[in-house]
């Protein structure tokens, strides 16, 4: 599978990554290992998890599944944010970041985190505290690269300026919610990331399954699916979105492809995108996501899809 460099100096990531947020929630350790091995065998080397996924089980399952194949993988994880119940005091978030890194290293069974993410910005802590703590982890060799997620355009600019002024390790990429049904970031976060030379890593590329074809207009959600389990995700199953989904399905079908492949291929056609994170609970889903990387949209095709 093709790889792309995250930002200016980040690691090489497979263009399709495996999101591990289902580990410890939707699937158990045995199923997670099957999914991880299917991903490696498909050429996927980018694995994304977080300290808080599955109450910690996601990291444990990923580390155990990789086992002796750990060096084939680029592991990205995220520290657990300070909760709203924890009042902020100077230095408290820095301590949380350092603690989170040690917890993740232990759970993953590794001596380094390849990409360590700020899971989300802290509304009270200065970005200087975050970057100084992360820089310390990089200098200690416990973290190789750092990145952000769920940030606004102005937060990207501020973090970039502070890191440059202080000579600290800088974010190499940013993770954002971006797909064919959720495109608000295109006028704000994406241009800011490009200006800062950050690689963009979209998550939820399949819109919680809406862009896979498993949900049909006017039909009940299949039992056990995310939309059947969550009213929050089910709210996206609107008439307008089904109009768009059906248009995307027709575009893909004319080219002998699926709408899920189109959803990933379209993101990969965006010049700012380094890797697309797609979750999976079964090997066949991994194979479908990996197949999307073989479809390279032309500029005209990408523009036509965007116009739909």
Active site positions, annotated: 53
Distance CA 120, CA 183 (A): 19
Q: What is the DSSP string of 24-73?
A: TTTB-HHHHHHHHHHHHHTT--EEE--TTGGGGHHHHHHHHHHGGGGGG-
Q: Quick count: other Cβ atoms within 10 Å of Cβ 61?
A: 28
Compute how many other C-beta atoms are within 10 angstroms of the C-beta atom of residue 185: 20
Q: Which residues pair with 113 in a beta bridge?
A: 143
Query: Dihedral of CA 135/140/146/152: which sign?
Result: negative
Q: H or E segment at 148?
A: strand 143-149
Q: Using alpha carbons only, what angle is made at residue 257 by residues 254 and 259, rounded to the nearest 5 degrees? A: 100
CA distance 187 to 286: 31
Long-range contact set of residues 63-70: C-beta below 8 Å, sequence gap at least 24: 63/107, 63/108, 63/109, 63/110, 64/29, 64/33, 64/109, 65/29, 65/32, 65/33, 65/35, 65/36, 65/37, 66/36, 69/40, 70/109, 70/110
Q: Give 125's Cβ-side CA count (13 Å radius).
A: 28
Q: Which two tokens stand for residue 273?
A: 């995108």
């Amino acid at each position: 599978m093709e790889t792309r460099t995250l930002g200016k100096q980040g690691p090489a990531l497979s263009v399709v990554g495996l999101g591990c947020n289902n580990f410890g929630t939707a699937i158990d350790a045995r199923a997670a290992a099957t999914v991880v091995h299917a991903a490696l065998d498909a050429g996927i080397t980018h694995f994304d998890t977080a300290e808080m996924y599955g109450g910690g089980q996601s990291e444990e399952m990923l580390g155990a599944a990789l086992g002796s194949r750990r060096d084939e993988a680029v592991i990205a994880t995220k520290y657990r944010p300070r909760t709203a119940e924890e009042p902020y005091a100077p230095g408290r978030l820095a301590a949380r970041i350092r603690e989170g890194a040690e917890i993740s290293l232990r759970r993953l069974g590794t001596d380094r985190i390849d990409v360590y993410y700020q899971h989300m910005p802290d509304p009270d802590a200065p970005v200087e505290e975050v970057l100084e703590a992360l820089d310390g982890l990089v200098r200690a060799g416990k973290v190789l690269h750092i990145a952000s997620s769920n940030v606004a355009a102005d937060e990207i600019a501020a973090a970039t300026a502070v890191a440059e002024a202080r000579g600290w390790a800088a974010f190499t990429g940013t993770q954002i919610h971006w797909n064919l049904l959720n495109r608000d970031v295109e006028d704000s976060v994406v241009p800011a990331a490009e200006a800062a030379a950050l690689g963009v890593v979209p998550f939820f590329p399949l819109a919680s399954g809406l862009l896979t074809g498993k949900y049909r207009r006017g039909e009940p959600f299949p039992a056990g699916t995310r939309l059947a389990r969550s009213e929050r995700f089910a709210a996206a199953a609107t008439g307008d979105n089904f109009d768009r989904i059906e248009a995307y399905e027709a575009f893909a079908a004319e080219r002998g492809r699926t709408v899920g492949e189109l959803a990933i291929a379209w993101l990969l056609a965006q010049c700012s995108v380094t890797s697309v994170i797609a979750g999976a609970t079964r090997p066949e889903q991994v194979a479908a996501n990996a197949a999307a990387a073989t479809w390279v949209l032309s500029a005209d095709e990408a523009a036509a899809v965007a116009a739909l």
